Amino acid sequence: MESRLEAWIPPYSAAAVADLRERLARTRWPETLEEAGWSSGTDAGFLKDLCRYWATEFDWEQEIERLRAWNHGLYLAKEGRVHFLHARGNGPSPMPLILTHGWPGSFLEMLELIPRLTDPAAFGGDERDAFDVVVPSLPGFGYSDKPRPAGVNFFRVAEMWAGLMRELGYERFAAQGGDLGAGVTTALGLRHAECLIGIHLNFISGSYRPHLPEGAALSEAEQRFLRDAAAWYDENGAYAHIQGTRPQTLSYGLHDSPAGLAAWIVEKFRAWSDCGGDVLRSFTRDRLLANITLYWMTESIGSSFGMYQEGRRTPLRFGAEDFVRAPCGIACFPKEILFPPRAWVERGYNVQRWTEMPRGGHFAAAEQPELLAEDLRAFFRPLRG
């Protein structure tokens, strides 16, 4: 059978970098309210400084050279090409593990996490806990193709992931995800349980609703969570609503203006991370800009919104027969944007481990790679055959 895998190297374009810098230099800045800070959105002073650094100091060529040190590939799915990293584990019997990112992140979030999983002994761990790690880019994100036709939702992506892992020679594997990646990993648990050793989540999808039998009583903690979630979406959910309902209109401006793109993305990294209001406590300028530049160079901000549209069309509403039976580990980071109580999660998942983390937020792999790696190793250790 013909292979559906291709080796691949991230491209670099000096002309595209020159165009980006020219656009940044010609940014037309709006007037802002005096002393508005971050209360009305991205702080103007912060954004101007970030864009100055982006135009004059940030080195995209160096970032590409850094990326080229990894083993990249393309998987030829029927929905299009899927970009992925593949890192072999250094141990006697590495467990295959697929990691799925979310929005507004990318596969770049996983780069500090991967070596802690592939070579735990180098970080003071046990080589027997090693993983073979696969990190795909979601369809419409980064170097993956923009999905055609529509309908590439959590369940279709899960099918693609199962196909990718089979093509790589892994009949059974572990899966981990946060944000949109948690939705994909949940879909793997619902539709591809025969392939799974177990799943690990650091987020519960906002569209998740367990099946509630008639007359089922919710605990006070569950009721409070639903109230808090409704209040959070009322105050903070405009981005998700427009990305899920009018993504095309939004994409014109973000696709054309690098300053606008940076403002849209960096606000989330500040608001959703454990940074105490100073995003540079959690991420360097170079790490923020590497992610933003990836969106810019691959022209993928508009296509990244597709998962929001598809999530509205096919949310994770569990029916009476739906339950994630594979063993499930949950890592609850304290500054996560929304996290339901254990009782709510256990209505739909076979929770075997629940860890309350001491620090960290929504971007767990990038913020706290060591904590996340330790929890992954501990959860999957008893599941190794």
Q: Phi and psi of 21, rounded to 5°?
A: -65, -35
pLDDT at 252 over 70: yes
pLDDT given at position 48: 97
- Active-site positions read 179, 308, 362
pLDDT at 356 over 70: yes
pLDDT at 232 over 80: yes
- Mark residue 124 as left, alpha or beta (left: phi above 0; alpha: psi -120 to 50; beta: remaining): left
Nearest to 315 by CA among 238, 249, 244, 236: 244
**Model pLDDT for residues 183-200, shown as the tens digit of each residue:** 999 999 999 999 999 999
pLDDT given at position 164: 98
**Model pLDDT for residues 272-328, shown as the tens digit of each residue:** 999 999 999 999 999 999 999 999 999 999 999 999 999 999 999 999 999 999 999
Task: Specify the DSSP class assigned to residue 301.
Answer: H
pLDDT at 150 over 90: no
CATH number of 5-9+41-212+219-383: 3.40.50.1820
pLDDT at 149 over 80: no
Give yes or no for a contact between 201 and 186, defined as CB atoms under 8 angstroms apart: yes
- Least reliable range by pLDDT among 93-102, 146-155, 259-268, 336-345: 146-155
pLDDT given at position 34: 66
List the chain domain ranges: 5-9+41-212+219-383
pLDDT at 33 over 90: no
pLDDT given at position 148: 78
